[in-house]
Structure 1
């Protein structure tokens, strides 16, 4: 796998490695006596939009952009971060701005946005300060759990004046999760799962408790073998082998047709042959972006997970 691809996978997934922001989510927005919109972001910072709901936005991270498109506000995007790639047909003509260490404030300023939306790992505090000093407000999202995904949707709906559409999306997601939760309750299953987010050669990262991955598994009656860990954490091969999951889900991507698939790579690992998931051919590669982005496509993710677990 190419280095750039690996970086894309890790960067898109490990959004929970936050910088030094205080995490005090608030979902209340208010309009002042003028037309300015004051709204508190997911790390407790008050953001003021002097002209009311934003119509020109740069989204540095994929999930936020996907939410905007899903609530009918994709046309507000005047710029997108390096890894914003969905919906492909809609984003391809939106200018790309470098993300992370390569971020160039002048590049953002040139697009003249009313607002930059980022997550807590998209850029450093120094970069954030530089953007704000250039006169561009910055709104920070920080969704790790499904409830926080709903919170992000609600806030972004307020930012663009699409509150109704945001509420409808939250309801659709809630109903989808409830549907598959009830379907799973009708099945008899005693299974454990290990979520592998990054390939072995770059260190094994997994989802512990207080993550949307873990929550979707719980909905389907799956026991997360790393449920005692919080957030997205690095684990050892030895621990995975010891915990002996009956199902393994990998979000690794496969680009080199001459190389083993992610499933083949896992099943061929030395010392993993006695893991139940490997012995019983229960190792599945899932869509990276659908499973790792805190946005609308988590509905696709739980459907896929259900099919792998119950329909095979």
Structure 2
């Protein structure tokens, strides 16, 4: 496959990664949620959202590559884009190692293998840094109503494990609906409430503080695989260490 000169990204984290790798000038379309880096605003046109992209507009942009994700984008939209003859790369990393493999592959596809290698090395450095022995049990809420938890077979679950935490719902796959009583029964050592996809707020943290110490955290740190990876590992380790000392 020739290096694509025109790229449409339907995934905010991949949009950020494309720019970090050095291929930002090739972006000709993005979703309205692709707001990082900030300079994309006004320069790269929007093509709808992650769940409601304007397929006709995407095809009209004549991209050499469209970037999508199995969870964030709908299969019917991906199939419609492919039916036009437009190449689509669908990502689905379910672990840190799979995210690194995806970064390596995307870097190769975009002609920026060196930058991809740099990010992989920075992530491996973070993973191999001496870390305190930590067995903190963690509950990560994904949605409020219904209450949904972070489960296994997900990038976020593996990220928690790499940082030294133990996901209390790792026995359930993906993003299961759970009862508040079950969260309490599993006795987490810390509860993490991210600001995306659901924007948990201080009032939510107060509601859960009776179960375990609760922290509002940057959702992009948990879900955005890409240049945020090294920081995410270190930041989570710091949070877990602080909680174990309480």
- With the shorter chain as reference, the TM-score category is 0.7 to 0.9
Residue 2 of structure 2 corresponds to residue 71 of structure 1? no
Partner of 1:112: 62
Residue 128 of structure 2 corresponds to residue 193 of structure 1? no
Give the conservation status (yes or no) of the 8 Å contact 2:7–2:67.
Answer: yes
Partner of 1:309: 240
Residue 236 of structure 2 corresponds to residue 293 of structure 1? no
Give the conservation status (yes or no) of the 8 Å contact 2:126–2:230.
Answer: yes
Partner of 1:142: 92
- Answer with 1 or 2: which has the greater Rg: 1
Report the Cα offset of residue 306 of structure 1: 2.2
Give the conservation status (yes or no) of the 8 Å contact 1:119–1:141.
Answer: yes
Question: Separation in 2 of the partners of 1:121 and 1:212?
Answer: 12
Partner of 1:184: 132
Question: Separation in 2 of the partners of 1:134 and 1:303?
Answer: 43
- For residues 128-164 of structure 1, give each alpha carbon's deviation from its aligned partner in whole angstroms, at most 9, with x where no partner exists: 2322232321111111211111121112112211112
What stretches of structure 1 of length at least 5 have no aligned partner?
A: 1-36, 38-51
SS of structure 2 residue aligned to 1:234: coil
Q: What is the alpha-carbon root mean square deviation over aligned residues? A: 2.5
Change (3 A) 1:230 1:109: same
Give the conservation status (yes or no) of the 8 Å contact 2:8–2:65.
Answer: yes
Question: Separation in 2 of the partners of 1:207 and 1:247?
Answer: 14
Please give the TM-score of this superposition, normalised by the length of structure 2: 0.88
Give the conservation status (yes or no) of the 8 Å contact 1:99–1:123.
Answer: no
Question: Separation in 2 of the partners of 1:122 and 1:221?
Answer: 27
Alignment of 1:77-88 (within 5 A): 77-88=27-38
Pairs aligned (count): 243
What stretches of structure 2 of length at least 5 have no aligned partner?
A: none
Question: Separation in 1 of the partners of 2:179 and 2:86?
Answer: 42
Change (3 A) 1:303 1:112: same
Alignment of 1:51-62 (within 5 A): 52-62=2-12
